[in-house]
């Protein structure tokens, strides 16, 4: 059987802001059947793809746009490219299903990380009898802090598959604090309202997780849609 001939495709990619964005684009393109090699250049805002010659370039472009980035002519002026990669206010909308799906994925991983530290802190004080007589507010603030720390730790671990430790930690720390703080606050407010204190019961965990997911999700959509930034 004769192997299909190879062809080089060059795509201008807008909206990339960090090395994690580069990894997102590389992954999206590498997952296409027939693609043998992908090289993404952040400084030049382009992706070079080696693939079978019978692949339609539109398939490659759709993979990039579905990942949350834009397509431009290769070699376009980088200054204009950076301006073009940020949609004008009139172009923003809340109806992009692909962005809702990606932002939900980002929010899910953040929620898992935050829940580990948050629930662990509440569980500790609940089952040790609060030996230092901390107030509910103090316990909740500590739970929020620990939740953010475990979220960063989990994100760093996930990113280790894509980049070195120091770069993975830098990207994890660069995640939106607004998203994590609003998530933590929502979960702990629901806990206090439903249980009257810093308590974990089998029936309160689900509404806490739902509130923690829904609260930052629109913000994560807005950030990804408007600026092409997620870094999750």
Both 171 and 73 in a single domain? Answer: no
pLDDT, average across residues 66-76: 75
> Above 80 in pLDDT, residue 84?
no
Span 189-218, average pLDDT: 96
Do 188 and 108 fall into the same domain?
yes
**104 and 69, same structural domain?**
no
Provide the domain count of the chain: 2
36's enclosing H/E stretch is: strand 35-41
Tell me: the pLDDT tens digits for 90-146? 467 898 887 888 788 889 989 999 999 999 999 999 999 999 999 999 999 999 999
Q: Is residue 92 part of a domain?
A: no
Does 215 lie in the same domain as 105? Answer: yes
Q: In which domain, by residue range, is 144 found?
A: 97-227
Contact 114, 151 (CB under 8 A): yes
Domain match, 78 and 105 both: no
Task: Kindly state whether residue 1 falls inside one of the protein's structural domains.
Answer: no
- Same domain for 151 and 78: no
Report the candidate in 184, 220, 191 with the shortest Cα–Cα distance to residue 207: 191
CATH number of the domain that 68 lies in? 3.30.70.100
What pLDDT was estimated at residue 39? 93
Domain boundary among 86, 106, 134: 86
* Mean pLDDT value across the chain: 84
Spatial distance between the Cα atoms of 60 and 46, rounded to a whole number of angstroms: 12
């Amino acid at each position: 059987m004769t192997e299909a001939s190879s062809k080089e495709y060059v795509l201008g990619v807008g909206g990339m802001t960090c090395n994690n964005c580069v990894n997102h684009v590389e992954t999206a393109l590498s997952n296409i059947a027939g693609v043998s090699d992908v090289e993404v250049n952040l400084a030049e805002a382009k992706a070079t793809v080696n693939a079978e010659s019978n692949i339609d370039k539109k398939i490659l472009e759709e993979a990039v746009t579905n990942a949350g980035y834009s397509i431009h002519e290769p070699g376009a002026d980088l200054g204009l490219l950076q301006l073009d990669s940020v949609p004008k206010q009139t172009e923003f909308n809340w109806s992009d299903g692909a962005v809702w799906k990606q932002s939900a994925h980002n929010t899910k991983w953040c929620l898992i990380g935050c829940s580990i530290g948050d629930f662990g802190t509440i569980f500790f004080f609940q089952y040790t009898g609060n030996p230092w007589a901390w107030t509910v507010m103090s316990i909740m603030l500590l739970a929020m802090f620990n939740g953010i720390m475990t979220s960063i730790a989990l994100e760093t671990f996930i990113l280790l598959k894509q980049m070195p430790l120091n770069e993975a930690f830098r990207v994890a720390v660069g995640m939106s604090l607004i998203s994590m703080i609003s998530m933590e606050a929502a979960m702990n407010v629901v806990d206090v309202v439903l249980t009257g204190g810093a308590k974990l019961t089998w029936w309160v965990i689900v509404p806490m997780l739902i509130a923690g997911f829904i609260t930052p999700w629109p913000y994560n959509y807005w950030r990804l849609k408007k600026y092409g930034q997620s870094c999750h």
